[in-house]
Amino acid sequence: MFKRCLSHLLMLTLIFTTIGVISVSAKSKAEKEAERTAKVKAGVAKLGVGKEARVALKLRDKTKLSGYVSQAGEDSFVVTEAKTGAVTTVAYTEVTQAQGKNLSTGAAIAIGIGIGAGVTILVVFLIVASLD
């Protein structure tokens, strides 16, 4: 009796797990595109505008584009290539993959503090080791 109940419980668990996986992964193509567009838009907004806001993009037509964000609008943004100065307007919906190459001020400060603390600990350790 115990084995029978256990097998029924296992069977029900597998069925409900399968139904849950199917319902979670059933996003429409339009929903996925809207999420990707929102993510790219938020990423460009986070990077900012200017020569420090470097970006590398892959577009829907399989082209690659790199440079810095010189302007950002509601529906598109402008990428200027650093070497040639060529300007390209890119719609957020055209981007399939984007990589930003800009450290925020807080990240740069945190890295500097981490390096300073590491050097200080190393010096203290060497001083204590030389006293022994």
Does the pTM surpass 0.75? The reply is no
Residues, the chain: 132
User: Would you state the pLDDT for residue 78?
Assistant: 92
- Extract the residue ranges of the chain whose pLDDT is less than 50: none
Answer yes or no: do 92 and 78 share one domain. yes
User: Would you state the pLDDT for residue 5?
Assistant: 67
Answer yes or no: do 80 and 92 share one domain. yes
User: Would you state the pLDDT for residue 38?
Assistant: 85
Answer yes or no: do 74 and 115 share one domain. no
Residues of the domain holding 110? 102-132
Render pLDDT for 59-83 as a digit per residue (tens, 0 to 9): 888 888 888 888 888 888 999 988 8
Q: How many domains does the chain have?
A: 2
User: Would you state the pLDDT for residue 104?
Assistant: 60
- CATH of residue 73's domain is 2.30.30.100
Do strands 87-91 and 95-100 pair parallel, antiparallel, or not at all (unpaired)?
A: unpaired
CB 93 within 8 A of CB 33: yes
Element (H, E) at 105: helix 105-131
Element (H, E) at 54: strand 54-59
